[in-house]
Amino acid sequence: MNPSINGNRMRQSGVVASIAAVFVCAQAALMADPVGIGDMKEAYARIVDMAGRWEGLSYDGKPAQLEYSVVSGGSAVLERWHVLGSPADRDMITLYYPDGDSLLLTHFCIAKNQPRMRAVRYDSAAREVQFNIVDATNLPDANIGHMDSGLIRFDDRDHITTIWTFYENGRPEFTENLHFTRRTAVEVSSGGSRCSHAAAPAMKGEIR
């Protein structure tokens, strides 16, 4: 057999095997038990309650903002990540939304892929919800860098911790453990009306 043909077939088999492995992992994530419907409702209510503007520091110590907006008639929460001084096209969007008994998010990453994650655990005592990847668009190979999991800890009504883990080449590349304080709160009523008011005041030396 022509060695070049044999090599091409082996490479093609490797690509097929890699794609199959990604599909199996995604199916396993889909089949994993999500948080129960009661927990999902509580977890989503916590995220809805985050509506407003939050401030903190990025992973490299730069002033950063998170903006949470309840959209689409209350059926989704839009998060916008912005690092002060960066152009708007460097902002990242994450959309949180219930889907039947599940709570999902889609993260529009600066890595130019869009991981979709599902809540696999909500701990009301610890006040945190854990998301793990289900699948992604623009991610032809799972070895390409992407956000693989996320966690939100609701420290109190005006303070949150977010933990995001970035995977590359099949292993964690880095984890971002970030803390944010709400500066402006937006109250969302059942009828959809909203009003803004000041939240936690900025301390000396903090960004505004």
Q: What is the pLDDT of residues 40-94, one digit of tens each?
A: 999 999 999 999 999 999 999 999 999 999 999 999 999 999 999 999 999 999 9
Q: What is the residue type of 40?
A: M
Rounded-to-integer distance, Cα 21 and Cα 36, Å: 28
Q: Could you give the C-alpha distances from 75 to 2, 36, 118, 125, 166, in angstroms and in order?
A: 58, 18, 16, 25, 27
Q: Which two tokens stand for residue 207?
A: 């960004």
pLDDT at 188: 79
First to last CA, the chain: 69
Residue 65's contacts (CB-CB under 8 Å, 6 or more residues apart) are: 53, 54, 55, 56, 81, 82, 83, 84
pLDDT at 29: 44
Domain boundary assignment for the chain: 32-198
Q: What is the mean pLDDT of residues 158-162?
A: 98
Element (H, E) at 103: strand 102-108
Q: Quote the pTM value.
A: 0.78
Q: Is 174 exposed, middle or buried (0-12, 13-18, 19+ CB in 10 A)?
A: exposed
The class (CATH top level) of 32-198 is mainly beta
Is the distance from CB of 195 to CB of 187 less than 8 angstroms?
yes
Q: Which of the 8 DSSP states describes residue 190?
A: T
Q: Which candidate, 45, 54, 53, places its Cα nearest to that of 74? A: 45
Rounded-to-integer distance, Cα 101 and Cα 35, Å: 8
